A and B are shown apart, each in its own frame.
Chain A
């Protein structure tokens, strides 16, 4: 049975170990969805905004209100304090008082020390955005992409509604946590998208994350993104290119090009990188039993929408099936 497309979910939560490029993947997925005609919202949940610079270099911050940066593509940053003020304002209708108290430094210090509410209120805001309607029966956003906290925190992030739901059994909060939990655990609405590199430590951490998310949190994980992969470096039949280069006479002059030794070292690097990536992709597929979405390494780095385009395309291609 083919996997459902990522674009048919309502919510895709992108997470990964630091340095794996999860922000890049979130931005590329948003581009892919918007290009396919979906109305997309990308939400960042960290302290700083990074997605706007990728989608529209040089643009000003988008903040909590968010802004359309491309056709069909809105970007926002969910600040938990803003979300809490909004929530309490909606619940008890005392926006003015809430805002004044929130401005107090001591109140902030107290809230900074309180655990769990940030995750819950952030997910609550996402739930609220998911529920928003353009017109009757038609959602305001077809797809919401969340650039979630890095691995360890990502797990806590999605697990908080369950924890709150089991700790608080009555009252509005309990009911609301239940709604959020239903959204997170509905495989038709929500998928988690882990991002890994094809290297030892990220692969181990990603495998552990996928296992715990499925078993402990009950979130659908149906594929893993492997980012920055050095794909087959040489054409078929030339697998030993670096060795052949190394055997050329050392004093050979190639006009305008580096010496054979340097050419051999470059080729050897790419091959070593490719072999390392291939090895860890096999381990990742074996341990997670998930399909892999392979994104090529962009040699010049990812700086803007042009660099994201090939990644967006690769992201929505069917994943490489898990090994038999």
Chain B
């Protein structure tokens, strides 16, 4: 790979940007701001979100998000500096519909389709299967990238404990369809002759029967029927899953890790980074959201007086307050409070730097970019707010106020 690319290059050059990270780190805001940045560069951009909390809907001020991209109004975009050729469309994933559409595409008869859609296991699987959010998101990304009317697709991934659920969902589905258990359930006669398989089959069948007895649910029957119905389409499915995965780890795509300085959050981010690295997924960089940054040009946090505030400083400040104009007020108390406020703020800055130190150092060592965004996105809920985040992440000239915290 060439030298480290910053977020600006990613937004300008890549076709797919995938934002990964745990919940509550501003991943959705980040994805939407990448998309807006892309649109501002004149690219036709789509942003896909999965989160059921409708965070993107809030952020983009769109009341209804469908399973198909909805364009933001031209005049709103123009006001944010998006040129006429640029485009920004948002969509929220409808897992069930995406799955149903997939089934419709890969079944060869009306009857087969109805059998799958009506199967009890399928009905659960299509919205409750572990990883189905991830799988249908992948599917949607593939569909959008096939359409060729978008230059850039930004993906906000489902909040999950495993960073790789998203990437691994297709492989897992294929493995599952290929698995011996499934093959045994599909072709008991064929598998029965193979050494080992028989014992395995007898064991698992017995346990499944027991599960049935305890649960009163005809589990085996439903599963066999589901798998039989799926078998006809599994080749198409498999092919698709392979292609989606290839596209996501290919040179046109980039993974960006979103994190926040909260201790638990950086722990999660580190374990995600490890899993991504182990799986050979190149990480383009990390955006640490909600960092406290030191406002002074004259001082770094470790040079701020800490708990034992110099009485000299306090006296000097109190004297300055006392000689300032305006109504009388307790100058001593004000001096104490002002130094305590700076001390408290410095503690936040130090704590954030400490908790994110290992994460950012590791990403930098891997050749990825590191961006720290000040604490502002907790309340980003409009396009102007997204534009501010986009400026900060891309480090372009600020389009609004310097510090988003002031509102």
| A54 smallest CB distance to B (angstroms) | 9
Is there a chain B Cβ closer than 8 Å to A323's Cβ?
no
| B191 smallest CB distance to A (angstroms) | 11
Output the nearest chain B residue to A151 by Cβ-Cβ distance: B53
Output the nearest chain B residue to A169 by Cβ-Cβ distance: B216
Output the nearest chain A residue to B53 by Cβ-Cβ distance: A205
Is B407 touching A272 in the complex (CB atoms < 8 A)?
Answer: yes
Which residue of A113, A233, A252 contacts B130 across the interface (Cβ within 8 Å)? A113
The interface-forming segment of B63-71, B92-100, B248-256, B314-322 is B314-322
Q: Which of A49-65 contact B (CB under 8 A)?
A: 50, 53
Q: Given contacts A110-B181, A112-B130, A303-B263, are A266 and B216 in contact (CB under 8 A)? A: no
- Number of B residues with CB within 8 Å of any CB on chain A: 89
Alpha-carbon distance A172/B345, docked complex (angstroms): 58
Which residue of B181, B265, B381 contacts A19 across the interface (Cβ within 8 Å)? B265
Is B341 touching A241 in the complex (CB atoms < 8 A)?
Answer: yes
Q: Is the interface of B mostly helix, strand, loop or mixed?
A: helix
The interface-forming segment of B72-80, B109-117, B204-212 is B204-212
Which residue of B207, B216, B312 contacts A171 across the interface (Cβ within 8 Å)? B216
Q: Which of A19-60 contact B (CB under 8 A)?
A: 19-21, 23-24, 46-48, 50, 53
The interface-forming segment of B148-156, B235-243, B292-300 is B292-300
Is B351 touching A200 in the complex (CB atoms < 8 A)?
Answer: no
| B233 smallest CB distance to A (angstroms) | 16
Is A98 touching B207 in the complex (CB atoms < 8 A)?
Answer: yes
Give the residues in chain B near A106, CB-CB below 8 Å: 179-182, 200, 204
Q: Given contacts A150-B159, A302-B263, are A19 and B53 in contact (CB under 8 A)? A: no
Is A263 touching B348 in the complex (CB atoms < 8 A)?
Answer: no
Output the nearest chain B residue to A257 by Cβ-Cβ distance: B313
| A250 smallest CB distance to B (angstroms) | 11
Contact with A along B241-273 (1 / 0, CB 8 A): 000000000000000000010111101000100
The interface-forming segment of A89-97, A183-191, A311-319 is A89-97
Which residue of A20, A107, A241 contacts B181 across the interface (Cβ within 8 Å)? A107
Is there a chain B Cβ closer than 8 Å to A301's Cβ?
yes
Is there a chain B Cβ closer than 8 Å to A138's Cβ?
no
Is A300 touching B342 in the complex (CB atoms < 8 A)?
Answer: no
Output the nearest chain A residue to B407 by Cβ-Cβ distance: A272
Is there a chain A Cβ closer than 8 Å to B365's Cβ?
no
Is there a chain A Cβ closer than 8 Å to B305's Cβ?
yes
Which residue of A20, A94, A253 contacts B24 across the interface (Cβ within 8 Å)? A20
Is there a chain B Cβ closer than 8 Å to A105's Cβ?
yes
Is B298 touching A299 in the complex (CB atoms < 8 A)?
Answer: no
Which residue of A48, A255, A272, A300 contacts B310 across the interface (Cβ within 8 Å)? A255
Q: Which of B149-181 contact A (CB under 8 A)?
A: 159, 161-162, 172, 175-176, 179-181
Is B345 touching A247 in the complex (CB atoms < 8 A)?
Answer: no
Give the residues in chain A near B219, CB-CB below 8 Å: 114
Q: Which of A74-112 contact B (CB under 8 A)?
A: 88, 91-92, 94, 97-98, 100-101, 104-107, 109-110, 112
| B344 smallest CB distance to A (angstroms) | 5
Could you write out 9 A-B pairs with CB less than 8 Å apart? A46-B161, A88-B210, A88-B211, A173-B215, A241-B334, A248-B321, A257-B309, A262-B298, A272-B406
Residues on B facing A (Cβ under 8 Å): 22-25, 52-53, 55, 58, 124-125, 128-131, 159, 161-162, 172, 175-176, 179-182, 200, 203-204, 206-207, 210-211, 213-217, 219, 223, 260, 262-265, 267, 271, 292, 294-299, 304-305, 309-310, 312-313, 316-317, 320-321, 324-326, 329-330, 333-334, 337-339, 341-342, 344-348, 350-351, 354-355, 378-379, 381, 405-407
4 closest A-B pairs by CB: A19-B24, A18-B23, A262-B296, A106-B181
Residues on A facing B (Cβ under 8 Å): 17-21, 23-24, 46-48, 50, 53, 88, 91-92, 94, 97-98, 100-101, 104-107, 109-110, 112-116, 150-152, 167-174, 197, 199-202, 204-205, 233-235, 237-238, 241, 244-245, 247-249, 252-263, 265-270, 272-273, 276, 299-303
Beyond contacts A104-B203, A299-B347, A302-B263: 5 other A-B pairs, Cβ-Cβ < 8 A, are A106-B181, A200-B378, A237-B330, A268-B406, A276-B378
